[in-house]
């Protein structure tokens, strides 16, 4: 069941403007994206996704020599099947 407090967060009250910053938890930001032209919308969304992925600073895990030897053995076993 949805709690009344959650519903109230998204209700626009007369006399009080709805501001996205008031509802932004920080870990899940809101974006206002123009939708009048599809190409602009797609470009803005692509930029947001690209920027977010780059900010994660993802890296491949480092493989040790022991793991490389184990991978070679497993690859050989798979080739023999």
Tokens 């009048």, residue located: 36
The chain-wide mean pLDDT, for the chain, equals 81
pLDDT tens sequence across 25-35: 667 777 878 88
Query: pTM value?
Result: 0.51
d(CA 54, CA 64): 26
pLDDT of 24: 64
CA atoms within 13 Å, Cβ hemisphere of 27: 0
Domain containing residue 28: 4-79
Average pLDDT over residues 49-55: 93
CA dist 64 → 35, 51, 70, 71 (Å): 49, 31, 10, 11
Number of domains in the chain: 1
Element at 72 (helix H, strand E): helix 65-79
pLDDT of 1: 44
């Amino acid at each position: 069941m949805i709690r009344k407090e959650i519903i109230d967060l998204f209700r626009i009250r007369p006399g009080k403007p709805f501001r996205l910053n008031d509802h932004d938890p920080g870990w899940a930001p809101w974006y206002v994206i123009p939708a009048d032209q599809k190409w602009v919308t797609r470009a803005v969304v692509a930029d947001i996704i690209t920027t977010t992925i780059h900010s994660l600073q993802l890296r491949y895990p480092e493989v040790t020599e022991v793991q490389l030897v184990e991978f070679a053995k497993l690859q050989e076993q798979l080739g023999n099947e």
